[in-house]
Amino acid sequence: MKLDVLAFGAHPDDVEISAGGTVSKLVSQGKKVGVVDLTRGELGTRGSADLRDQESARSAEILGLSVRVNLDLGDGIFESSHENKLRIIEQIRRYQPQIILANALSDRHPDHGRGASVVKEASFLSGLPKIETSISGESQKAWRASLVAHYLQDYYQDPDFVIDVTDFFDQKMDAIKAFSSQFHDPNSREPQTPISGEGFFDLIKARALSLGRPAGMELAEGFNVERIFGVDDIFNLL
């Protein structure tokens, strides 16, 4: 299955929290979008890996994903190793996306920056024919996406571009809330975390408002890139 966009997250719910509106919008436009979670989030203070698996499946249905894969590289301990890069390259070559979305380059959780780095490097290496990979015994062809964009997460950073998600914000929030073990539940007796407080959903909306306002949008999601954009028509910037 060839995808238009492949979004990577260090943990299940990373993509939903930071780029769920963008994913929903792309799917509504007829684009095929997939998510690759690098870990099962097994070190999370609340819930369990098995529960996160179930929540991921529910969220995938809400977003309309074409596919969701979990590489189970090890929450909190995965490294930018040769083996892990090959695992990621296999998925890139398998789905041949034009666009790759990845974690923030620098963030509060060390897995986020590490996830951004390993995906960024694997995205480049995936285009080198001399790196050999296979799935189910079948050799894969080299493939390099045209764009790697890093979604903003906990730390605020000035975005290189924003995407209007006003009409898809409710769907984004429904996908986030599918991970009910991680967020506010007045009946839960599990420890509180930075994202389980009652005000966290308000924070998500406030971030979307702050990103959208300078661009004349109500609600937006922000992204960073490490290359210069080029357009052949200045009116495409409007």
What is the rounded distance in angstroms from the CA atom of residue 112 to the CA atom of residue 86?
19
The SS3 assignment for 236 reads helix
- The answer to whether the beta carbons of residues 40 and 70 sit under 8 Å apart is yes
Which uninterrupted H or E stretch holds 19?
helix 14-28
Q: List the domain range (segments joined by +) for residue 17.
A: 5-227
Q: Picking from 151-155, 176-180, 194-198, which range would have the lowest pLDDT averaged per residue? A: 194-198
3-state secondary structure of 68: strand
Is pLDDT at 214 greater than 90 in this prediction?
Answer: yes
> How many domains is the chain built from?
1
Within a domain: residue 159?
A: yes
* Position 237 in a domain: no
Is residue 154 within 8 Å of residue 108, measured between CB atoms? yes
Say if residue 189's pLDDT is above 90: no
Task: Kindly indicate the confidence band of residue 184, based on its pLDDT and cuts at 50, 70 and 90.
Answer: confident
What pLDDT, on a 0 to 100 scale, did the predictor assign at position 87?
A: 98
pTM confidence score: 0.95
The pLDDT of residue 138 is 94
Where does residue 216 rank: exposed (0-12), middle (13-18), buried (19+ CB within 10 A)?
A: exposed
The per-residue pLDDT of the chain, averaged, comes to 96
Does a structural domain hold residue 234? no
pLDDT in tens, 108-133: 999 999 999 999 999 999 999 999 99
Provide, rounded to the nearest whole percent, the portion of the chain with pLDDT above 70: 100
Other beta carbons within 10 Å of 36 = 23
Distance CA 40, CA 52 (A): 7
- Is 221 domain-assigned? yes
Check pLDDT > 90 for residue 229.
no
- Per-residue pLDDT reduced to its tens digit, 43-84: 999 989 999 999 999 999 999 999 999 999 999 999 999 999
Query: What CATH number is associated with residue 205?
Result: 3.40.50.10320
Spatial separation of the C-alpha atoms in residues 150 and 142, rounded to whole Å = 22
